Amino acid sequence: MKIGIIGAGNVGTGIGKHLAAKGHQIFLSFSKTPEALEKARNIVGGGALSGSVEQAIAFGDVVILATPWGVTIETVRSVGDGLSGKVLWDTTNPLKPDMSGLQIGTDTSGGEKVAKAAPGALVVKAIAPFAEVLHSPSTIIAGTKPGVFVCGDHTNARKTIVQLVNDLDAEGVNAGPLSLARYTEPLGMLSVQLAYMNGFGARIGSALIRDMPV
Ligand SMILES: NC(=O)c1ccc[n+]([C@@H]2O[C@H](COP(=O)([O-])OP(=O)(O)OC[C@H]3O[C@@H](n4cnc5c(N)ncnc54)[C@H](OP(=O)(O)O)[C@@H]3O)[C@@H](O)[C@H]2O)c1
């Protein structure tokens, strides 16, 4: 699959690296300097391309949004209706800049704000495992794949992202509508708190346990 990525930092390169290794074609965009973008392209490997946000969107069957929350909405708005009809995988978490809490929730969510900023895009919210997990030799933590809760209002787009999450060697959980991002974003915040403030370290994750696959 052709994947455009907006945000070539820890998460953008971490996801890009796994997906490139699984044979997906990657186009990276959105760094502050060309040097940073080139470095990101080398981290991803697999013949990844790079260029402007508009080029990444035009390239991708799926576009991944991996930007700091503070620049996310303006970045999405800057492309006008360019995202219309695209599957947009929102990996962002609306953290306060000092990571002390969430900027919004739980009567709405970052995912829903992104969907409002990109009318026509098929927005799917799925917060990836920690970048430290994506960039370590194995994503498996204590014998278990980290779970990623996948939320979106378009069934086929949601299924596509579940498959891409599985290609990270994580477990995509087909959770339901985009409004469930109101609860997955606080779960992400809990992980941030445990990892960085409470001393658990960043090789942690959440997983859904169940008797039967759904
Ligand atoms: N890190 C994690 O473990 C993790 C886990 C789950 C979710 N998330 C969420 O994923 C998102 C991305 O996190 P991250 O850790 O990948 O962030 P990051 O490493 O800081 O990467 C952000 C990317 O956006 C670019 N960027 C930022 N401001 C820009 C601007 N004004 N103009 C152009 N480019 C700009 C950065 O470019 P430069 O490199 O040039 O600065 C970088 O490529 C965040 O919303 C975060 O909450 C992160």
Which atom of ligand 1 sits closest to the CA of residue 40? 43
The residue whose C-alpha atom lies closest to atom 37 belonging to ligand 1 is 31
Segment 144-159 mean pLDDT: 98
Residues 116-153, buried b or exposed e (16+ Cβ, 10 A)? ebbeebbbbbbbbbbbebbbeeebebeeebbbbbbbbb
Ligand 1 neighbours (beta carbon < 6 A): 7-12, 30-33, 36, 66-69, 71, 91-93, 95, 127-128, 130-131
What 8-state DSSP symbol labels residue 139?
Answer: -
Taking the complete model, does pTM exceed 0.95, yes or no?
Answer: yes
Q: Is 210 exposed, middle or buried (0-12, 13-18, 19+ CB in 10 A)?
A: exposed
17-75 pLDDT per residue, tens: 999 999 999 999 999 999 999 999 999 999 999 999 999 999 999 999 999 999 999 99
Whether the per-residue pLDDT at 214 is higher than 60: the answer is no
What 8-state DSSP symbol labels residue 141?
Answer: B
Whether the per-residue pLDDT at 213 is higher than 80: the answer is no
90-132 pLDDT per residue, tens: 999 999 999 999 999 999 999 999 999 999 999 999 999 999 9
